[in-house]
Amino acid sequence: MKEYLREYFKLLRFTKPYKGLFFLALCCMAVSTVFDGVTLGMIVPLSDRILTNKEVIIPGDVPPALAQVVAYFNSLNPHVLLRYMVIFMIGLFFFKGVFLFLQTYLMNVIGESVIREVRDALYRKFQDLSMSFYAQKRTGELISRVTNDVLRIANALTYALTDMLYQSMQVLFFASIAFYIGFKISWFLPLISFVIFPCIMIPVVKFGKKIKSYSAEVQNKMADLNSQLAETIQGAYIIKAFLREEYEIERFREINRQYYRFTLKGMKRTIFLSPFTEFVGACGAMVLLWLIGQEVIAGRISFGVFGLFLASVLSMMRPLKKLSNAHAINQRAIAASSRIYKILEEEPLVKEASRPVEISGIDRDIRFEQVSFQYNPGEETVLKDVDFTVRRGEQIAFVGHSGAGKSTLVNLLPRFYDPTRGRILIDGRDIRELRIVSLRRLISVVSQETMLFHTTVRENIRYGKEDAGEEDLIQAAQKAHAWEFIRNLPRGMDTIVGDRGFRLSGGQKQRIAIARAILKDAPILILDEATSHLDTVAERLIKDALHVLMKGKTAFIIAHRLSTVQNADRILVIENGKITEEGRHEELLRKGTVYRTLYDLQFKV
Ligand SMILES: Nc1ncnc2c1ncn2[C@@H]1O[C@H](COP(=O)(O)OP(=O)(O)OP(=O)(O)O)[C@@H](O)[C@H]1O
Ligand SMILES: [Mg+2]
C-alpha cells in the first residue's frame, strides 16, 4: 500500500504545473456534488408532500435549521410546492451542467497538457542521452514510451483522477446523508457499511496488482510491435530480397496475438471489478432496505425520508463502481509512469563538466593518451592503450580489418562515447573539460552510414549550418560535386529525399553528406569512408569532393580508398584495437607487414 501511494504520488507529480487549474476543477466538482445531493433531497418533498400529501417526518432530534425547512415544506400547498420545485430543478440542472462541463474540460486540459509536456520532456531527454543509450534500447520501445505510455498517464490523470475525486466527494456526501438518517433510526445500521467496505476493497486491491503486471506485459508487447514495425518498414528491401515476407507476417501475428492475450487478461479483471462492486454493494443495500422498511411500515419515519435514505445508499453504488475502475486505470498508469521516469531520470553517460571550458579552435595538436575503451562493462575491450598525436592540419588515415575498432576510435573524439581509461587532449586539455557543444562545433563528421532526413535536399545540406544562405548551400554542393545531379532532380534543391534518402543513389547520398560537412566548415574532420563500391567516375567525383573537404583541416580518415591512403600524412594500422604500425604509405609498404597484406587485399585491384 505504501509503495502504491508513493508511486501514485509520483504519477501525480506530472500535474504539478497545473495546480491552479486543478484547484478550479476541484471546486467545480464540489459544487456539482452539492447539486447532486440537493437533487436527491428533492425526493423528500416530492414523495411526502406532492405525491401523498402527508407530512415529512424525520425521526429523533433535528437541528433547528433543518426543522425550519421541514416545517416550511409541510406548510406549503402541494400545488405551489410542485411549481416551485419544477422551476428550481430546471435551474439546478442548468447550473449543474455548467459546472460539469467546466470540471470535465479543465481535467482534460490538464491531461492533454501532461501528454504534451511529457512527450516534449522525453524527446528532449532522448536528445540529451548518449549514444550508448541508443545502442541498448530498441526503437520500438522508445516509440512506445512517447506514444502509448504517455496516453496511459493522461488517462489516469484525466478520467481516473476526475472519477476518484468527484466520486469520492459523492460517496462522502451520500454516505453522510445515509449515516445521518441511519443513526437516527438505529446506531446499528451505519455499522453495516464497515462490513461491506472491506468486502469490496480487498478484491479491488488484489485485482489491481494483477492488472498492473498484465499492463507491463501489454506494454512490452506494444514495444515489440513497434520495434518490428520500425525494423521491417526500414528493411522492406531485405525482406523482399530474401523472401521473408511470410516469416515476418508470422512473427508479427505472434506478437500481435500475445498483445491481444495480455490485454484481454487485464481487461477481464478490470471489467469484473465493476459488476462485483455493484453486487456486494447491492447486497448491503438490501439488508438496509429490509431493516428500515420495517420502520416505515411502523410509521416511525415518513416515506420520503426513507426514499432519501435508500437513494443515498444506492447512489453510493455508482461512485464505488467507478472508483474500482479508476484503481485499475491507475495501476496501468503507474506501470507506464515508472517506465517513463526511468528514462527521464537516466543520466547521460557522457556528461558536461561542472565548469565547462569553451573552445573555439585548435592551435597545436590532438592527442590520444593511453586510450582504452569498452562498450559495456565486462565486455571485450575494443580499444587497447591507443596512443598517438595528430598535429594541427595533419591528415591521418586509419586502416585495419573490419571490426578492428576504427569507427569506435574516431567516435571518441566528438565524445559520442568517453574512453574507459586514458584521455583525449586537444591542445593539452582533456576534452571532458570542454563544453560539449563547443567541442562538437569544431568537428565535421561524414559517417560510415549516410543518414539523410526526410526533407528537401536543401534542408539536408543546411543541417551542417543552420543559418547558411542559398549561395553558401549551392557553393557547398558544388564543391562536393553534388550540384550537377541536384540541379537535375525534379525539383532541384527542393526535392524531398525519402525517409532514408530513398530516391538517391549511394554515391549521391554520400556527396550530399559531404556537402553538409563542407558547409559546416569545422577545423577537425572525421571521415568514415563508406566501403560501397563506386564506379570510377563516381569514385573520382567523391575523391575530388573529399580533397576539397580535407583541405587545411585536421583530418581523421578511415580509409578504404587507395587515393585517400596515399595522400594521408600518416597512416595508423589498427589491429584488434591496438595501433600496430605507423608511417607513410611507401614506408609501410616497404616494411611490408600487416599494411602490405591489407594493401594487397583491399586497395590493389
Ligand atoms: N554499440 C556497440 N556496442 C558494443 N560493441 C560494439 C558497438 N559498436 C561496435 N562494437 C564492437 O566493437 C568492435 C569494433 O567496431 P568498429 O565499428 O569500431 O569496427 P571498424 O574498425 O570500424 O570496422 P569496419 O571497418 O567494418 O567499419 C567490433 O568488434 C564491434 O563488434
Ligand atoms: Mg567502421
pLDDT tens digits, residue range 387-433?
999 999 999 999 888 889 999 999 999 999 999 999 999 999 999 99
Which one of 1.10.3720.10, 3.30.2320.80, 2.40.50.100, 1.20.1560.10 gives the CATH number of domain 2-214+268-344?
A: 1.20.1560.10
Instruction: Give the tens place of pLDDT for each residue, 541-599.
Output: 777 778 888 888 999 999 777 677 788 899 999 999 999 988 888 888 887 778 888 77
pLDDT at position 212 is: 81
Task: Name the residue of 375, 379, 402, 576 whose CB sits within 8 Å of the most ligand 1 atoms, as the mutation to test its pocket.
Answer: 375
Give the residue whose CA is nearest to atom 9 of ligand 1. Answer: 408
Q: Tell me the ligand closest to 404's alpha carbon.
A: 1
Going by the DSSP 8-state scheme, the letter that residue 357 receives in this structure is: B
The alpha carbon of 556 and the centre of ligand 2 are apart by a number of angstroms equal to 13
Q: What is d(CA 193, CA 183) in angstroms, rounded to the nearest whole number?
A: 12
Give the residue whose CA is nearest to atom 16 of ligand 1. Answer: 405
Identify the CA nearest to 18 among candidates 123, 148, 108: 108
Q: Which atom of ligand 1 is nearest to the CA of 398?
A: 21
Confidence of residue 140 (pLDDT cuts 50, 70, 90): confident
Q: What is the mean pLDDT of the chain?
A: 86
Q: What is d(CA 226, CA 162) in angstroms, rounded to the nearest whole number?
A: 31
Ligand 1 first shell, C-beta below 6 A: 135, 375, 382, 400, 402-408, 448
Give the residue whose CA is nearest to atom 30 of ligand 1. Answer: 403
Give the residue whose CA is nearest to atom 4 of ligand 1. Answer: 375
Q: Is the full-model pTM beyond 0.85?
A: no
Confidence of residue 202 (pLDDT cuts 50, 70, 90): confident
CA 328 to chain centre: 21
Q: Which residues pair with 430 in a beta bridge?
A: 425
Residue 307 to residues 171, 175, 188, 236: CA-CA distances in angstroms? Answer: 17, 14, 19, 68
| CA geometry: angle 129, 130, 133, nearest 5 deg | 80
Mean pLDDT of 443-468: 87
Mean pLDDT of 165-184: 85
Cα-Cα-Cα-Cα dihedral sign, residues 54, 73, 299, 40 = positive
Which sequence spans correspond to the domains of the chain? Answer: 2-214+268-344, 354-442+524-530+553-605
Q: Which residue has the higher pLDDT, 139 or 536?
A: 139
Instruction: Give the tens place of pLDDT for each residue, 511-525.
Output: 888 899 999 989 999
> At residue 40, what are phi and psi to the nearest 5 degrees?
-65, -40
For residue 365, what are the contacts with CB-CB under 8 A and spacing of at least 6?
Answer: 389, 390, 391, 392, 426, 427
Instruction: Give the tens place of pLDDT for each residue, 317-333.
Output: 788 778 888 888 888 89
Q: Which residues of 431-564 form beta strands (DSSP E)?
A: 443-446, 455-456, 496-497, 524-528, 554-558
Q: Which atom of ligand 1 is nearest to the CA of 135?
A: 1
The alpha carbon of 553 and the centre of ligand 1 are apart by a number of angstroms equal to 26
The alpha carbon of 601 and the centre of ligand 1 are apart by a number of angstroms equal to 20
pLDDT at position 167 is: 87
Give the residue whose CA is nearest to atom 26 of ligand 1. Answer: 402
For residue 326, what are the contacts with CB-CB under 8 A and spacing of at least 6?
Answer: 159, 160, 161, 163, 164, 167
Task: Name the residue of 350, 381, 398, 407 whose CB sits within 8 Å of the most ligand 1 atoms, as the mutation to test its pocket.
Answer: 407
Q: What is d(CA 31, CA 60) in angstroms, rounded to the nearest whole number?
A: 29
> Which has the minimum average pLDDT: 389-403, 452-466, 474-488, 536-550?
536-550
Q: Tell me the ligand closest to 134's alpha carbon.
A: 1
Q: Which residues pair with 574 in a beta bridge?
A: 400, 579
> Which has the minimum average pLDDT: 2-6, 306-310, 561-565?
561-565
CATH class, range 354-442+524-530+553-605: alpha beta
Q: What is d(CA 85, CA 65) in angstroms, rounded to the nearest whole number?
A: 20
Ion ligand 2 residue ranges (Cβ < 5 Å)? 407, 448
